Structure 1
Amino acid sequence: MRHARIAWSGAIHNATVSDDGQTLILADGRQVAETDIVWLPPVEGGTIFALGLNYADHAAELAFKAPDEPLVFLKGPNSLLGHKGTTRRPADANQMHYECELAVIIGRPARNVARAEAYDYVAGYTVANDYAIREYLENYYRPNLRVKNRDGCTPLGPWIVDCDDVPDPMALTLRTLVNGREVQKGTTADMVFDIPTLIEYLSSFMTLHPGDLILTGTPHGVVYLNPGDVITTEIDGIGALTNILADDQTFNIPANGSPVP
């Protein structure tokens, strides 16, 4: 089953998604057309863990070797944005690029979880696009706040697919399209650290809670983006997440970088 969070008729609703993805079914049975709603990130709150260099081909693309243990950094909830949302591309961000990632949603408290039991703690999966801006990057191994915690810099969704409906999350094809042209393609089979390893690693020193997110990294295929670009990050069996980039003027930000009061 696929689950979504939406804004409709002045309220926020949890909904399930019809098989064709065009109709949202609310808890009281009412049906709402996709064209009438605003998509929200399918999860809220929780800790957001993100993996750096978790695909060997992407690490090589950036002239780094694959890490010996997971390189994990944290993101704030302000960074999340729903399907079909708009993300700011700052005027000085000439090296801003997408990162198509499989996102894992934790379903129950997890502490000292053995690798063999890790999937028992997964509620489901969704798609993330964790944008990066290379000019702002201070350390490839520990991305700084301006790179990975910008407002709306990580579109997520459109929905969560239940864990039981994804037979093998380590055999999924990822792809990114910019203005309809495929620019990135890979497979989750190429992760340096797979999902069970990540859950075992994180839960070995901290408790994971329901609603926590693990963004598992992106394969190679970096292409820099421009305002007006339409980016779709897609994972087979999970969904296709679309996002639009806009310039500073669209966000009412003048040339000095400060928002207009």
Structure 2
Amino acid sequence: MKLLRYGPAGSEKPGLRHDDGTIRDLSAHVADIGGEVLTGAGQDMLRALDADSLPVVDGDPRLGPCVAGVGKIIAIGLNYADHAAEAGMEVPPEPVIFFKATSAICGPNDDVIIPRGSEKTDWEVELGVVIGKPASYVDEADAMDHVAGYCVVNDVSERAFQIERAGQWVKGKSADTFAPMGPWLVTRDEVPEPQNLKMWLDVDGHRYQDGSTATMVYGVRHLVSYLSQFMSLQPGDVISTGTPPGVGMGQSPQVYLRPGQEMRLGIEGLGEQRQLTRAWDG
């Protein structure tokens, strides 16, 4: 299934993307796409519905972030060896963990706002892993049982805030609109091999990132197990698993986003995003 949320920001309704390409409304069956809906029982209930009989959503509505009520965004740094190399950093002996504020979440095609004072706003296409079953101290062999599905995440980053100023990475990762998520949550049964998905990102039509989840240092199974040793994972939590090379910081000379540009990005089987950049206006 491809589960989504559509409508004005803050008033999104639950839906799914039908095989015929239409959006079908799920409002009569679930309140939103999050929490218990992401569990095995919740997904089974949705699969039992006759998708052909669900109401068709007319027009071309805005798509919201594909998961509601995200408890935490756990992001993984330097998780692609070639990206670590372009950043001039060593591949870490264990996953590097940081958080993005949930207030950074926005729809997959919403504008990305360049923060006040920013000179180094950057892009990062990433595989998002959505948790569907509580996980604590999970073995790798059982880790995938706790995954509801996958989505595209753009881990937008302000590099000066992240690296050049004292403190942790979170303040360079958490500005409003710095976590476009979607267009939809693709359930785990439709992605049998998450470690072999092509991924890409363009800025103004120029291909900067052209990689694959096959080059992850720490794969999905390991990350779910690893993170569950330090914190419980709950339905609706999102793990943003790192980015391949091609970020602006890695260019020579470095390239960063300016107002009025267009980002397009996607992951094989998970859909595409499109964002326009604009300056913070208060």
Q: TM-score, normalised by structure 2?
A: 0.82
Deviations along 1:27-85, one digit per CA (max 9) or x if unpaired, are: 442211352x2211111221110011111111110100110001101122101010210
Q: CA deviation at 1:7?
A: 1.8
Which residue of structure 2 lines up, in the alignment, with residue 230 of structure 1? 262
Mapped to 2, the partners of 1:21 and 1:70 lie a distance apart of 37
After superposing the two structures, state which structure 1 stretch, 97-106 or 175-184, moved more.
175-184
After superposing the two structures, state which structure 1 stretch, 20-29 or 162-171, moved more.
20-29
Aligned partners of 1:178 and 1:230 also within 8 Å: yes
Deviations along 1:198-229, one digit per CA (max 9) or x if unpaired, are: 11111113211111100000010023222111
Of the three residues 122, 132, 135, the one matched with 2:160 is 135
Q: CA deviation at 1:10?
A: 9.2
Question: Are 2:64 and 1:40 equivalent residues in the alignment?
Answer: yes
Deviations along 1:83-118, one digit per CA (max 9) or x if unpaired, are: 210111136433221100000000111111111111
Of the three residues 171, 176, 182, the one matched with 2:196 is 171
After superposing the two structures, state which structure 1 stretch, 181-190 or 118-127, moved more.
181-190
Shift in CA distance, 209/91, structure 1 to aligned 2, threshold 3 Å:
closer
Question: Are 2:205 and 1:180 equivalent residues in the alignment?
Answer: yes
Shift in CA distance, 73/103, structure 1 to aligned 2, threshold 3 Å:
same
Mapped to 1, the partners of 2:11 and 2:90 lie a distance apart of 47
Question: Are 2:19 and 1:19 equivalent residues in the alignment?
Answer: yes
Aligned partners of 1:55 and 1:190 also within 8 Å: yes
Question: Are 2:91 and 1:66 equivalent residues in the alignment?
Answer: yes
After superposing the two structures, state which structure 1 stretch, 90-99 or 40-49, moved more.
90-99
SS in 2 for 1:33: coil
Mapped to 2, the partners of 1:143 and 1:51 lie a distance apart of 13
Mapped to 2, the partners of 1:20 and 1:216 lie a distance apart of 30
Q: CA deviation at 1:26?
A: 3.3
CA RMSD of aligned residues (A): 2.1
SS in 2 for 1:39: coil
SS in 2 for 1:59: helix
**Superposed counterparts of 1:239-258, under 5 Å:** 239-248=271-280, 252=281
**Superposed counterparts of 1:131-210, under 5 Å:** 131-138=156-163, 143-210=168-235
Mapped to 2, the partners of 1:41 and 1:126 lie a distance apart of 10
% same residue: 38
Aligned residues: 248
Q: CA deviation at 1:5?
A: 1.1
Of the three residues 125, 129, 147, the one matched with 1:122 is 147
Q: CA deviation at 1:145?
A: 3.6
Which residue of structure 1 lines up, in the alignment, with residue 138 of structure 2? 113
Aligned partners of 2:9 and 2:64 also within 8 Å: no
Mapped to 1, the partners of 2:12 and 2:241 lie a distance apart of 28
Q: CA deviation at 1:144?
A: 3.1
Mapped to 1, the partners of 2:220 and 2:10 lie a distance apart of 37
Of the three residues 225, 239, 244, the one matched with 1:214 is 239
* Structure 1 unmatched runs, 5+: 253-258
Higher-strand-fraction structure: 1
After superposing the two structures, state which structure 1 stretch, 221-230 or 6-15, moved more.
6-15
Which residue of structure 1 lines up, in the alignment, with residue 124 of structure 2? 99
Shift in CA distance, 110/151, structure 1 to aligned 2, threshold 3 Å:
same
State the one-letter code of the partner of 2:62.
V
Shift in CA distance, 111/30, structure 1 to aligned 2, threshold 3 Å:
same
